[in-house]
Amino acid sequence: MKNIKKYYHIKSTVEDVFTALTNPLTIEMWTGASAVMDPVAGAEFSLWDGDITGINLEIVKDKMLKQQWYFEGEEGESIVTITLLPEGKETRIELLHLNIPDEAFDNIVDGWDRYYFKPLKLLLEE
Q: pLDDT tens digits for 65-85?
A: 999 999 776 566 899 999 999
Phi, psi of 100 (to 5 degrees): -85, 130
Lowest mean pLDDT among 32-36, 58-62, 73-77: 73-77
Report the interhelical angle of 24-31 vs 14-22 (nearest 10°): 90
Assess whether pLDDT exceeds 70 at residue 113.
yes
pTM for this prediction: 0.93
pLDDT of residue 46: 94
How does the average pLDDT of the chain come out, rounded? Answer: 94
CATH classification of the domain holding 118: 3.30.530.20
Nearest to 14, CA basis, from 97, 89, 94? 89
Q: Return the DSSP state at 126.
A: -
The rounded distance, in Å, linking the Cα atoms of 20 and 59 is 14
pLDDT of residue 74: 59
The number of folded domains in the chain is 1
pLDDT of residue 73: 61
Q: How many helices (H) and strands (E) does the chain have?
A: 4, 6
- Contact yes or no for 58/64 (Cβ under 8 A): yes
Lowest mean pLDDT among 24-33, 40-49, 81-90, 100-109: 100-109
Across the range 95-118, mean pLDDT stands at 93
Assess whether pLDDT exceeds 90 at residue 99.
yes
Higher per-residue pLDDT: 126 or 70:
70
111: Cβ contacts below 8 Å, ≥ 6 apart: none
pLDDT of residue 75: 61
pLDDT of residue 111: 93
Single-letter amino acid, residue 94: E
Range of the domain at 7: 2-124
- Contact yes or no for 90/12 (Cβ under 8 A): yes
Q: Compute CA distances 76 → 9, 11, 24, 90, 101, whole Å.
A: 30, 35, 27, 35, 10
